[in-house]
Structure 1
Amino acid sequence: MKLIVANKNYSSWSLRPWVLMTTLGIPFEEEQVQFAGLDNHADFRRFSPTGQVPVLVDGARTVWDSLAIALYLGERFPAVWPADPDARAFAMCVAAEMHGGFSALRNDCTMNVGVRVEPRPMRGALQRDVARVAELLEEGLTHFGGPFLAGPAFTAADAFYAPVVFRIRTYGLPMGPLAALWVERMLALPAMRAWEEAALAEPYREEGHEQELAAAGTITADYRDSA
């Protein structure tokens, strides 16, 4: 299988299947395409029906959309979703909620792995999104006992919140005690560290993403390669 992703510093949607497959040891070849701007639809249509990433190519079959990829992989690799029915239902619900919601968090706290930001005061929709993320994390960790979101093993539930992990660190978003421990645990995963290392090494800067970052707050540290 081949997984097509975009720049690791910016591409939150690409991170989901990449960290899922890497952590679970699902073999794949990676192909990276570079963002040419905030709207890459025409360029990405050569390999993606939606003009977006990620895309999984399995022989003659193309699977697009991060949630579809997780569902597709789950049919072949049982570890993608929890074995316990209650935990599996929770994992699917929180993955779907993240996939379809949290637009204020996505728009106001754009993913940029290599920086730290003092964010602008949170109001309205962003406050609600951050509070809901904190609530979901605490609920899963409490109910299923951790150390991962839906129980003892890393699953797609954790993978779908992996981009939020970087956002929480970048913007210093408030989380409860269990959620804060989970964030540290996720950041320590070899797959997350490998993604971060590659993100920091990328010299490319895309103007649109950088403008979104500037609008989100004041950059207090930048650890990216300055080449």
Structure 2
Amino acid sequence: MIEILNPTRLPRARRAGALVADILQAVRSRCEVGTNLLEIDRWTRSMIIEAGAESCYVDYAPSFGRGPFGHYICTSVNDAVLHGRPFDYALADGDLLSLDLAVAKDGVVADSAVSFVVGATTTPDGAAMIDATERALRAGIAAAVPGARTGDISHAIGSVLGAAGYPINTEFGGHGVGTTMHQDPHISNTGRPGRGYTLRPGLLLALEPWVMADTADLVVDADGWTLRSATGCLTAHSEHTIAITDDGAEILTLPTGTR
């Protein structure tokens, strides 16, 4: 299903996006050496409930997962890159942590992810990987204009990631959002320009470049959810929800006060 939002619902999408961004910002500011992933999940649950919003994850049970996800945020550490299920683990100095959050507020979903290094130890490889996903995200957003095609976004993202030397997995990527979290169209992280669905005002897209240092292959944890690099290499993930407008792409998942 591809859902086009009525212009009167765009303010709702902005509120949902700001909430997701504010929660991610708050959680990130509290993450330090020794923070447990289950604490992060509890903080997130409290903030979602306090805002009168709904988690898109806790009851999420798609065909590729094993039963309901059962948690409120994805916490992917080091070689884990997507769908990281929180567990009893205390963050260590130098861990590369990706937080991914999707929330429904006033009937509209927003989805965003951020990667960062915990503590004082930052490796050049980790910093470069995070930077590449953030630059690829900016390139994808710049390509998301009315009349462009989804392939134009994929090509823009893939050009940045490929130039940085990273293999690109095409199983998981960006997607449409609206009243539900995962909708068509699929936005691969590499592709051919001029192909795919034509972008039009009212379309909401979650763009999410992610990479693994030396492989495009994933393995699934015993929890049935967490996706890791097949070689155990470092990973990173960045994501924003955008709205296609008459003037281009509006980033919805920016913290309050930064628009």
Structure 1 length as normaliser, TM-score?
A: 0.33
Higher strand share: 2
Structure 2 length as normaliser, TM-score?
A: 0.30
Higher helix share: 1
